[in-house]
A and B are shown apart, each in its own frame.
Chain A
Amino acid sequence: MTVTADTEADAGQLATAERVRKIREAQDAGVSRAEGWRRRGPLLPALIFMIVVTQIPFVFTLYYSTLSWNLVRPGSRQFVGLNNYIAVVKDSQFWTVALNTVVLIVVVVLVSALLGLLLALLLDRAFLGRGVVRTLLITPFLVTPVAAALIWKTTILDPTNGILNWVLSLVGIDKVDWIGQFPLTMVMVVLIWQWTPFMMLLILAGLQSMPRDILEAGRVDGAGAFQLFRELTLPHLRRFIELGVVLGAIYLVNTFDAIYMMTQGGPGIASANLPFYIYQRAFLGFDMGQAAAYAVVVVIFTMIIASFALRLIFKSFSGKEEAA
């Protein structure tokens, strides 16, 4: 209501802006060196450790990829420039394996996210023994992956004595050699079994962090259960699902244990993913240079996808809440 005369107001504002500017300058200069170090100091040990242990090896990998170097043939270390990379591009197997990797990650993440969502919805309501069911459901995530792969391969999926074939035989379906015929799919099944609990827990946290009153408001406004889910719950859960998808994908890129145990990448390369393929080249074929080149290519692809993913995480979790 009290408005100063125009010219006075402008002059006043200019003066204020000037003072603010002076203060700002003083502030920026003022955060002393000591304070800066004190604030960031505790961060340094962890940071340095990570740089040393992760970045330096990668630099070496880059270097190796320019060599033709076979561990078994001593003295074979020579610089060959980008030859290894050309070999990578020309390697038709590489592309199949890359495809396998992508398929594996996408299918496992999507299916386990979906299953996780369903399970979270189931567990969101109270019922007798809910705690026990939750305990049962998180167990697959805890089991050592190689142990899990082993058990699935032998006791469950074995063509002759496995449980799956026995159950199917009860409904009149013939015995199937699951791992032999569907190697990649079986690997994916085991991975889905192990990762669904993780997704479920994340989404459950999302469900339980949702303020109930907006659901009540929706009900009063006349929305049915499905509409409530689609319009209110699902958008709220989006953050959590995204987080699960990104984290799951990060870990799944490195899938190795299940393939090693169940199929050894075979038959041929039918169920090999990039980590396993590279492992074969390096530790079974001893071709360091070649393996390094593959690894660098994998890293480049991953970095591209990862930068999108990281942006996604930070966007979703920069502390902004959606519901008022």
Chain B
Amino acid sequence: MTTPLVRGTEKTTATTDSAATPKKKGRTFSPWGVVAWLVGLGFFFPVFWMVLTAFKQEGDAATSPPKLFFTPTLDQFKAVFDQGIGPAMLNSVWATGVSTLLVLALGTPAAFALSLRPVRKTQDALFFFMSTKMLPIVAAILPLYVIVSNIGLLDNIWALVILYTSMNLPIAVWMMRSFFLEVPGELLEAASLDGASLWRSVREVILPLVSPGIAATALICVIFAWNEFFFAVNLTAVNAQTMPVYLVGFIAGEGQYWAVLSAAATMAALPVILCGWFAQNKLVRGLSFGAIK
């Protein structure tokens, strides 16, 4: 057996290269912690109340003083389902899902091109992308309505897919670009010396590193697309209505029935809330995107 020519004498320690010193785990009781809890609960309260009310009988829902304890029931949710929430759900899923995929498909190469070798044109392209976001959408809605109805896409989910893609693309490009910029240039150099073509380097080295960032971007797109109302309410009627539109239509029918309205609202809002909760770190990462760079 050959003795190693190069001997290592240091032990294996996981070296963390974090700049900030790690914080002590919060076992400490601090008065500010209490304040934070109170504020957190306060902010959360309307959501809590919404979900709570959804489980009430109508009689328990609109009372003064408001009722915290009552016998829960699933009747409201059943009522909402019976009214035909299914199609609206599907429409929302479709519009959100497909537009997000399109955003990623169009935006990832764009972000990559903008981050690889910055040129004067890069600034201009970024500028252009961001500026499209600044145009109030109300300015576009009129001709869009006319165009969409002329090409026969009124009340068609594909109109929303296209519009949501254009709505999210600028932010997505900007976010993903900042994630691409975080990849150290040396890795690309090392890969090219190892014999990798650009495409191969991207696939094997860059994409794995950037994938959390791409996930974060996708999450932001999902949130904005799912919750979008203006385009949806103006360009859809019965067939292509998304959850927010359905919710509004629901009210017109139900009047002042708070419990069932809460149930409908809960169902409209829940998917994105859950997404946001479970992918919280990605969301935080995404929102602080170019803020760090």
Report A's interface with B, CB cutoff 8 A: 39-43, 45-47, 49-50, 53-58, 60-61, 64, 119, 122-123, 125-130, 132-148, 150-152, 154-156, 158, 160-161, 163, 165-166, 193, 196-198, 201-202, 204-206, 208-212, 239-240, 243, 250, 253-254, 256-257, 260-261, 274-275, 278-279, 282-283, 288, 291-292, 295-296, 298-299, 302-303, 306, 309-310, 313-314, 317, 319
* A43 contacts B247, C-beta separation under 8 Å: no
Q: Does B29 make an interface contact (CB < 8 A)? A: yes
- Chain B residue nearest to A131 in the complex (CB): B280
Please determine whether B28 and A302 come into contact, CB atoms closer than 8 angstroms: no
Q: Which residues of B contact A253 (CB under 8 A)?
A: 134, 136
> Would A275 and B136 be within 8 Å (CB), given that A146-B247, A209-B292, A317-B290 are in contact?
yes
Does A39 lie within 8 Å of B117, measured CB to CB? yes
Please tell me if the beta carbons of A202 and B287 are within 8 angstroms of each other in the complex.
yes
Partner of A282, one of B141, B247, B293: B141
B20, B21, B135, B277: the one within 8 Å of A135 (CB): B277
| Contacting residue for B227 out of A53, A128, A145, CB 8 A | A145
- The smallest C-beta distance from A201 to any residue of chain B, in angstroms, reads 5
* Whole-angstrom CA separation of A292 from B139 in the bound complex: 7
Residue numbers in A under 8 Å from B114 (CB-CB): 43
B154-209: which residues lie under 8 A (CB-CB) from chain A? Answer: 162-163, 165-166, 169-170, 173
Whether A239 lies near B291 (C-beta < 8 A) is yes
Q: How far is the CA of A67 from the CA of B248 in the complex (A)?
A: 33
User: If the complex has contacts A57-B147, A260-B229, are A160 and B64 also in contact, measured as CB distance less than 8 A?
Assistant: yes
Asked if residues B169 and A126 are in contact (CB atoms below 8 Å), the reply is no
Contact check: which of B21, B121, B269 meets A40 at CB < 8 Å? Answer: B121
Q: Are B49 and A163 in contact (CB under 8 A)?
A: yes
* Main DSSP-derived SS at the B contact region: helix
Partner of B28, one of A126, A250, A278, A303: A126
User: Chain A nearest CB: distance from B255 CB in Å?
Assistant: 11
Q: Are A47 and B166 in contact (CB under 8 A)?
A: no
Interface-centre pick from B116, B135, B169 (highest chain A CB count, 10 A): B135
How far is it, in angstroms, between the C-alpha of A145 and the C-alpha of B225 when the chains are bound?
12
From 220 to 278 in chain B, residues with beta carbon under 8 angstroms from any chain A beta carbon are: 223, 226-227, 229-230, 233-234, 243-244, 247-248, 251, 256, 258, 261-262, 265-266, 268-269, 272-273, 275-277
Residues A155 and B262 in contact, CB atoms below 8 Å apart: yes
Closest partner residue, chain A, to B129 (CB atom): A50
B30 contacts A127, C-beta separation under 8 Å = yes
Give Cα A49 to B107, complex, Å. 11
Is the pair A127, B32 in contact by a Cβ cutoff of 8 Å? Answer: yes
Q: Is the CB of B142 within 8 A of A292?
A: yes
Interface-located stretch among B8-16, B34-42, B70-78, B80-88: B34-42
| In the complex, chain B residues whose CB is within 8 Å of the CB of A134 | 40, 280, 284
Contact B136 A144 (CB under 8 A): no
Q: Is B23 on the interface with A (CB-CB < 8 A)? A: yes
A313 to nearest B CB, angstroms? Answer: 7
Overall SS of chain A's interface = helix
Are B229's CB and A254's CB within 8 A? no
Nearest-Cβ distance from residue B106 to partner chain A, whole angstroms: 4
User: For A209, what are the chain B residues with a Cβ–Cβ distance below 8 Å?
Assistant: 291-292
Cα–Cα distance between A300 and B135 once the two chains are bound (Å): 9
Report the Cα distance A155→B52, complex, angstroms: 11
Given the known inter-chain contacts A50-B169, A154-B261, A254-B138, please indicate yes or no for A142 contacting B269, CB distance below 8 A. Answer: yes
A/B interface sample: 12 pairs, CB < 8 A: A39-B116, A42-B110, A43-B113, A45-B106, A46-B173, A47-B128, A50-B166, A128-B27, A150-B251, A161-B258, A212-B21, A260-B248
- Which residues in A have their C-beta under 8 angstroms from that of B146? 60, 288
Q: Which residue of A lies closest to B112 (CB)?
A: A42
Q: Which residues of B contact A279 (CB under 8 A)?
A: 138, 141, 230, 234
Residues of A within 8 A of B233 (CB): 260
The yes or no answer to B50 lying at the interface (CB within 8 A) is yes
B7 on interface, CB distance cutoff 8 Å: no
**Given A147-B50, A147-B244, A292-B142; A166-B66 close (CB under 8 Å):** yes
Instruction: Give 1 or 0 for each of B39-75: 1 = CB within 8 Å of chain A CB.
Output: 1110110110110010000000111111000000000
Which residue of the partner chain, among A55, A152, A205, contacts B288 with CB atoms under 8 Å?
A205
A160 neighbours in B (Cβ, 8 Å): 62, 64
- Please give, as numbers and ranges, the residues of chain A lying within 8 Å of B62 by CB-CB distance: 154, 158, 160-161
Q: How far is the CB of B241 from chain A (nearest CB, A)?
A: 12
Residues of the B chain whose Cβ atoms lie less than 8 Å from the Cβ of A317: 290-291, 293
Q: Is the CB of B284 within 8 A of A278?
A: no
Nearest 7 A/B pairs, CB to CB: A127-B33, A205-B288, A42-B109, A60-B143, A46-B110, A133-B40, A295-B139
Chain B residues lying within 8 Å of A50, measured Cβ to Cβ, are 128-129, 132, 166, 169-170
Q: Check if B227 sits within 8 Å of A254, measured CB to CB.
A: no
Residues in A neighbouring B116, C-beta threshold 8 A: 39
B280 touches A299 (CB 8 A): no
Contact across chains for A53 and B162 when beta carbons are under 8 A apart: yes
A61 adjacent to B143 (CB under 8 Å):
yes
Q: With A and B bound together, what is the CA distance between A127 and B256 in angstroms?
A: 42
Instruction: State whether A193 touches B43 (Cβ < 8 A).
Output: yes
Whether A275 touches B142, Cβ cut-off 8 Å, given contacts A130-B36, A139-B47, A261-B248, is no
